[in-house]
Structure 1
Amino acid sequence: MRAALEAVAPDDFVVAHSFGATMLLQILAEGVRVAPRWVTLLAMPDWSPEGWNVADYAFTGPEPTQNISLHHCRDDEVVEFAHLALNARRLPRAARHAHDSGGHQFTGLAPEIAHDLMGVPPR
């Protein structure tokens, strides 16, 4: 993932889902030579003691400099919706998007997520 990130241009968008979002966040926090300005994280688990309590994956910062957008569905059957608030606490600059339905795979939400990507960049 680190090598792929170094190949993107600053104006590229990067989207990661679930565990991939966790890994992307960790790499961005470490810093990469070239990184995108905008990152969208879908259904990202929180691995802290308040979440799934797996220290090896828990995000401890620093908050990446990229504009981050967090998306989570209330009916996610894999990563509980409460993880959105836990992640938002660790990433206070991130834009938060709560979806009523779509499950863990964001079924039917591609247009809405694409709008977020192509619309006004996340704060």
Structure 2
Amino acid sequence: MSRQVLFIQGAGDKCKPFGSGKLIAYLQKQLGNNYEVLAPDMPDPEHPQYLAWRDQIEQEHGKLDADALFIGHSLGGSMLLKYLAEGTYQRPIVALFLVSVPYWGKQDWELEYALPDDFASHLPPIRQLFLYHSRFDEVVPFSSLRCYQEQLPQATVRVLDGKEHSFTEGLPLLAQDIKRS
């Protein structure tokens, strides 16, 4: 039986050139038949709203095996973290991988995506937590990674050289970490 990997895409059409689709395809190829990469279409990805995405994430979680792995890319990682911090999902998580995830502030337009200040204390138990971020990411500032490091000191941090955000050519470290989890 293959191990399930739930991948929550970033904002925008995942099939567009800089959408999450190429990273998803890369992982499917690299992980092979031992893994089932589940990448559901998220509601209205061009105009994402937290409540709609939360409901979709919750629906997907209900279909997963206990040892499933979770990946959140860009805004998808923000949505996944916020959902987990709400405390309704209580099962332990084997591994959570967050790739190029923005850390939202408290400005009016960002409130929908912002995490509570104490979000880390509300997360379910996570055995392995990984953060991946390019040093010169042109979409999400590197300072977002630093904010997550402060809140999630137990995380393994993968600082990547370059300016990649969508990882259209793949992310070998992510595939390797998944195989080790």
State the TM-score bracket (shorter-chain normalisation): 0.7 to 0.9
Question: What is the aligned partner in structure 2 of residue 37 from structure 1?
Answer: 94
Select the structure of larger CA radius of gyration: 2
Partner of 1:3: 59
**Does residue 23 of the first structure (1) align with residue 79 of the second (2)?**
yes
Distance 1:102 1:112 in 2: 16
The amino acid across from 1:100 in the alignment is D
- Show CA shifts across 1:17-49 (max 9, x none): 011000100111223154632110110000125
* 1:13 and 2:74 correspond: no
TM-score (norm 2): 0.58
Across the aligned residues of Structure 1 and Structure 2, the Cα RMSD in angstroms comes to 2.2
Cα distance, 1:63–1:69 mapped onto 2, change above 3 Å: farther
Paired residue for 2:103?
46
Indicate the larger mover: 37-46 or 100-109. Answer: 100-109
Q: Which has the higher helix share?
A: 2
CA contact (8 A) 2:72 2:97 kept: yes
Matched-pair contact (CA < 8 Å) for 1:22–1:44: yes
Question: Once the 2 structures are TM-superposed, how far is the Cα of residue 109 of structure 1 from its aligned partner?
Answer: 4.1
1:96 aligns with 2:139: no
Provide, for residues 98-121 of structure 1, a one-character-per-residue CA deviation record: whole Å limited to 9, x for no partner. Answer: 1002511124442221001112x4
Identical-residue share of aligned pairs (%): 30
Q: Which structure 2 residues correspond to residues 57-96 of structure 1 after superposition, within 5 A? A: 57-60=113-116, 61=119, 62-64=121-123, 65-66=125-126, 67-96=128-157
Structure 1 gaps, min length 5: none
Question: Is the contact made by 1:9 and 1:36 (CA closer than 8 Å) also made in structure 2?
Answer: no
TM-score normalised by the chain length of structure 1: 0.82
Match of 2:81, as an amino acid? L
Structure-2 change in CA distance of 1:35 and 1:96 (3 Å) = same
Runs (4+) of structure 1 exceeding 4 A deviation are none
Question: How many pairs are equivalent?
Answer: 118
